[in-house]
Structure 1
Amino acid sequence: MKLAIAIAVSILVGGAGPKMDADTTEWWRTTSELSNDAMEGRDTGSAAYLRAAKLVAARLEAAGVKPAGENGGWFQTVPMHEIAITKATIRAGARPLVFLHDLTISPNAATPARVDAPLYYGGYCAPGALRNARGAIVVCHGTHREGLPSGAEREKAVRAAGAVGILTIADPGFAVEPPRWPYAYARTVTHADAKPDRDPFLRMTLNAGSLGKLLTTVSKKGNVLIRDGASGKPLPSFSLRERFRASFTIRQRDIASPNVVGILPGSDPKLAGQAILLGAHLDGYGYGEPVNGDRLYNGTLDDAAYVALLIRLAERRHGKPFQRPVIFAAWTGEEKGLLGSRWFVAHPTMPLSRIAGVINLDQLRPIFPLKLLTVHGLDDSSLGEDARAVANGLGIAVQNDPEPERNLLRRTDHWPFMQAGIPAVNFVFGYRPGTKSEQIYRHWYRTGYHKPQDDLKQPMDFKAAADFNRFFYKLVERVADDPQPPAWKPTSPLRPR
């Protein structure tokens, strides 16, 4: 394995573009160890994930970090329960639908093994459009446009109409984060102690390109409805002659997966109760539905590269403390719903009162030059001001999230800490509209995000990676050595009340 990693790093370093400096080379070497094919995508609860977790713990220990998990060890076990659809046969009338390509489902403890129900097209699924939907599965256009029903409003209206389920069309008009097909798999993972969801209401998602398979007896073709729905034009509602029939093979099992938690004690005893937590998620998707013949979702940039950056920071310190304690956390279960970080916040291995701030690393894509950095939490706490000062000193501009409709602030592991009242920041590579960087960004979200193509062979901008890594090192040093702890701004709507 080490030879394969060395060859991969050698090829990437010697390829087109500027060569990596020594620090970036070591960072990429660790990224390669965590996301090569032998790590099997580090799926939550898998043996491969545990191998990756042990590697992270060993590397942090070698760098002088101390264990801070359960019982004086490196790990914090997160018990989980998984419900998965392992096989599905689905038809709309006489037409077969391909599971994970035409549609997917979010299963729960009450998902039936067999479904046989009429179909009803409800447009945007406003309440007045669903008069004849009782007992049906309702097809709704999943628009994100302001002034039209939200996802919660659509489901409320469909339930109120007496329908048995909702089939939401993944909106191709949502250009900031286009739908991704196929889905890797259909699984729901929860904490093991969560109350089982026994609601039989069906929640499914439909590929917009597959709507025509449901409309064989309708004069208005599916592509017209998709075009009108994507642009926010008025949509009709009507019953379909076709029935929706499906059989599902459902597997339930208990699984467990560990967070990796370590601490570098601080040098100033007066700041011992003001630790800075550095986090990134170790889990990926693992094996899933093939894309272009590849079924291994390596998760190189999401998020192996930034667990590797935590390791690299520890290695650069060689056990030398900052003034404050610094916690290193590699989370499990992020891709299944922030399960590792939520578990830690609910069952901390150290008092949350001793954690003064969180710097999270996720959603980072060094695939174009780093001239602009989106900072989640930029205006919410002093951490945003620290990020601004460090970035500006490196010639990098900062901005608030220009795409709040994606809700990225709440989609990664800093969010449970913010909910618990702890200031936090997270970062995304930014771009100026209409630039080549935007084209690269959009293309990656279509072809790389949560796909097997997020691997070690994808195009990288290693200078941009080095620029961000340098920003991260300086930010951690500034925050961990500041005499004052991170503090919420009084104007932040997220601050504790």
Structure 2
Amino acid sequence: MPSTLVRPFLFVLAGAVALAGCNRAPEGAAPAAATAATPTTVATPVPASTHDFVPGIVGGDFAEHVRVLASDAFEGRAPGSPGEEKTVDYLVSQFKAMGLQPGNNGQWTQVVPMTETTANEDTTMRIVVKGKPHTLKFGDDMVIGTRSGQKHVAVADSDVVFVGYGVDAPEQHWNDYAGLDVKGKTVVILVNDPGFHANDPTLFEGRRMTWYGRWVYKFEEAARKGAAAALIVHDDAGASYGWDVVRGSWSGAQFDLRASDDPAPRLPVQGWISGAQAKALFADAGLDFDALRAAANKRGFKAVPLEAKASVTLDSTIIEKSSRNVIAKLPGTERPDEAVVYLAHWDHLGKHADEAGDNIYNGAIDNATGVAGILEIAGQFAKAPPKRSVLFLAVTLEESGLLGSKHYVAHPAVPLKDTVAAINIDAMSTFGPSKDIVVTGLGNSELDDVLKTIADKQGRTLHAEATPESGFYFRSDHFNFAKAGVPALYAEGGEDLVDGGAAAGRKAAEDYTANRYHKPADEFDAKWNLQGTMQDLDTLYEVGRVLADGTTWPNWRTGNPFRAARDASRPSASK
């Protein structure tokens, strides 16, 4: 959840970066609380509610949803816990009361099978460079794992190749794998984009990270090319976090979808290598790592084989589990087979049984507010059903790597080619109305144009996230839709508050990040100023209403890496 509540202070509050989940830690990293959540023998009763809900976007209704979902009775809403049962039951009951229909082929929920993989941290990797052996220790020199679902994987005497940024981007006229066969080999890859390290605005998007800069893409591309293993070279600036975050986030239990349920290619072995170790390996191979990194920032770079062989045997503990997405549908009156999707993640970090004192991570802002938001928007749509259908998707396992939304995209209730757009709500501002709207990934899609028209009428301005080089667009649930070609919007109230300006907004956000983000103190507060929250929900509702009552098919901007998937699934959108 890279909310405006958190985003401006990412580097100031570096310690908070190490917290897992909600896009602070690398995707795929399992938060400690997700595994620490322990069902209680005596369930805490759900807090009684005498609230009389009314149709539409109403502050009192929104507050009541958050109060209930973030109550101790829901135990932090950890997947697989009693809190999941209560959350799912609550959401289904609310959607039913609004008159919505089950959105998953007659079902209210969608089972999300998942795999928990824990690598043996005594594992070492052996790389022999020109006859000189190097033994890389887990945690100190490298951190590796497998997404194969296999308890035992081995790579033996694999040729090592430096492939620059590991990018094959036709629209950027860039291919680090050109003329290269890496089948069975170990590829060494730089993190982020060429434009970032070169500080060159003419390369990709300069210092703003693109999809090609994300480590997820790099591993998937290496898998598509047939590599046996891939190691990303860590550097603090390029990753936007230190080695301690890599070590902490990639150690221990890692959650993923089952390989059989995930169409994305997977490597037998993938992970990170420290910058110091990479430099040492390259030096022993007679290569200057810094010079090669500089060369990799230029068009026409050719991959460089190292006179080296890599070997590793990796044993892991594999456990199969499952959770659920909740899906509700409001059928369209004229084009019911086409749909706009609103989504928010319902999961949080659960209950830490081994912690003294308040050990329930209630997740009020993150993300009971987002779930309450889609409930309120659903109620507003129900007052006057639109021409296209609207789907309301409450996804699980965001805190464990966006897995619920990833599973939905692989098994959509409405075909992705018929999905008009996705609108994501993740951690809403409760600091009062703002003069601005933050659009994470501003400029990527034509959805910005729809939003701007509505914002202009409100006298609000749009601007991008404060640190686009950190790749926040790729760290929340909308990204899985984007990756599949569906235009996706992630917009929220800004920090330039009507009352107090940017200084007041920054102070409030800093206080939240330091004192409540991913802490038990993230609890419902009846004193919240929800005036801006309601304005933000009205804004996002209007975006969806324009799309749901219209006939247009928004697309990605020319040059965006997701446009090809959209054009392939819906050629008319490219016209």
Give the TM-score taking structure 1 as reference length. 0.64
The change in CA–CA distance for 1:491 and 1:77 in structure 2 (over 3 A counts) is: closer
Structure 1, residues 209-261: CA drift from partner, whole Å, max 9, x if none? xx79x99xx9xxxxxx99xx9xx99xxxx999xx99997541232x3332211
Q: Which residue identity lines up with residue 322 of structure 2 in the other structure?
A: A
Which amino acid in the other structure matches residue 395 of structure 2? Answer: W
Quote the residue 2:100 is aligned against.
66
Q: In the alignment, which residue of structure 1 is the partner of 2:455? A: 391
What amino acid sits opposite 1:321 in the alignment?
A: A
Deviations 1:89-110 (A, max 9, x none): 46799998669x9956454334
Q: In structure 2, the residue corresponding to 1:279 is in which secondary structure?
A: strand
Q: 1:410 to 1:363 in 2, by over 3 A?
A: farther
Q: Which runs of 5+ in 1 are unaligned?
A: 7-21, 128-134, 219-224
1:259-338 equivalence runs, <5 A: 259-265=325-331, 269-270=333-334, 272=336, 275-286=339-350, 298-314=362-378, 317=380, 319-324=382-387, 325-338=389-402
Distance, in Å, in 1 between the alignment partners of 2:144 and 2:45 is 40
1:56 correspondence with 2:91 = yes
Q: Which residue matches 1:203?
A: 270
Structure 1 residue 485, shift from structure 2 partner: 1.2
The aligned residue for residue 221 of structure 1 is none
Are residue 109 (structure 1) and residue 143 (structure 2) matched?
no
What are the superposed Cα offsets for residues 453-477 of structure 1, whole Å, 9 maximum, x if unpaired? 27525999943x5413322224414
Instruction: Say which of 519, 535, 539 aligns to 1:453.
Output: 519
Distance 1:142 1:296, change over 3 A: farther
2:117 maps to a residue whose letter is A
**Which residue number corresponds to residue 471 of structure 1?**
536
Tell me if structure 2 keeps the 8 A contact 1:109–1:197.
no
SS in 2 for 1:252: strand
AA paired with 1:109?
G
Alignment-mate amino acid for residue 538 of structure 2: Y
Q: SS in structure 2 opposite 1:468?
A: helix
Contact 1:42 1:285 in 2 (8 A): yes
CA distance in 1, matches of 2:409, 2:222: 35
C-alpha separation between the residues in 2 aligned to 1:265 and 1:175?
43
CA contact (8 A) 2:358 2:520 kept: no
* Structure with more contact order per residue of length (Cα contacts < 8 Å, sep ≥ 6): 2
Aligned 8 A contact 1:345 1:416 in 2? yes
Equivalent in the alignment of 2:437: 373
How many residues align? The count is 457
1:407/1:437 Cα in 2 relative to 1: closer, same or farther (>3 Å)? farther
Contact 1:105–1:204 (CA<8 Å) still a contact in 2?
Answer: yes
Asked if 1:88 corresponds to 2:82, the answer is no
Deviations along 1:175-224, one digit per CA (max 9) or x if unpaired, are 86677473284333336434797744x3234688xx79x99xx9xxxxxx
User: How far apart are the structure 2 equivalents of 1:329 and 1:481?
Assistant: 19
Note the 1:85-484 alignment, pairs <5 A: 85=118, 88-89=121-122, 103=143, 105-110=145-150, 112=152, 142=191, 146=195, 168=232, 170-174=234-238, 180=245, 182-183=248-249, 185-190=253-258, 192-194=260-262, 199-200=267-268, 202-205=269-272, 249-253=316-320, 255-265=321-331, 269-270=333-334, 272=336, 275-286=339-350, 298-314=362-378, 317=380, 319-324=382-387, 325-350=389-414, 355-362=419-426, 364=428, 370-376=434-440, 383-400=447-464, 403-418=467-482, 422-430=486-494, 436=503, 452-453=518-519, 456-457=522-523, 462-463=528-529, 466-477=531-542, 479-480=544-545, 484=549
Per the TM alignment, residue 145 of structure 1 is displaced from its structure 2 partner at its CA by 5.7
Structure 1 residues 456, 441: CA separation in 2 closer, same or farther (over 3 Å shift)? closer
Report Cα offsets for 1:417-447 as digits up to 9, x if no partner. Answer: 4566654422145458xx6579669968986
Q: Assess if the C-alpha contact under 8 Å between 2:439 and 2:464 holds in 1.
A: yes
Structure 1's 395 and 335: CA in aligned 2 closer, same or farther, altered over 3 A?
A: same
CA distance in 2, matches of 1:486, 1:379: 22
Amino acid corresponding to residue 371 of structure 2 in structure 1: V
Give the C-alpha shift of residue 357 in structure 1: 3.6
Percent identical among aligned pairs is 22
1:404 and 1:140, CA in 2 relative to 1: closer, same or farther beyond 3 A? same
C-alpha RMSD of the superposition: 6.1
CA distance in 2, matches of 1:312, 1:51: 19
Distance 1:461 1:394 in 2: 25
**Match of 1:308, SS?**
helix
Q: Distance in 2 between matches of 1:425 and 1:124?
A: 31
How far did 1:336 drift? 4.7
The whole-number CA distance in structure 2 between the counterparts of 1:105 and 1:291 is 28
Structure 1 counterpart of 2:328, which letter? G
Secondary structure (helix, strand or coil) at the match of 2:519 reads coil
The one-letter code matched in structure 2 to 1:186 is Q
The answer to whether the 8 A contact 1:75-1:261 is kept is yes
Distance (whole Å) between structure 2 residues aligned to residue 431 and residue 401 of structure 1: 11
**Given the two structures, how large is their TM-score scaled by the length of structure 2?**
0.57
Unaligned runs of 5+ in 2: 1-42, 49-56, 126-133, 167-175, 177-183, 199-211, 284-288, 298-305, 497-501
Using a 3 Å threshold, how does the CA distance of structure 1 residues 33 and 144 change in structure 2: closer, same or farther? farther
Using a 3 Å threshold, how does the CA distance of structure 1 residues 302 and 191 change in structure 2: closer, same or farther? farther
Equivalents in 1 of 2:331, 2:264: separation in Å? Answer: 40
Distance (whole Å) between structure 2 residues aligned to residue 155 and residue 438 of structure 1: 38
* Cα pair distance change 1:436/1:114, threshold 3 Å: farther
Contact persistence 2:341–2:422 (CA under 8 A): yes
For 2:272 and 2:340, the matched residues in 1 are separated by 40
Q: Decide whether the 8 Å contact of 1:263 with 1:328 is kept in 2.
A: yes
Asked if the contact 1:361/1:426 (under 8 Å) is kept, the reply is yes
Report whether the alignment pairs 1:75 with 2:109: yes
One-letter amino acid of the counterpart of residue 252, structure 1: I
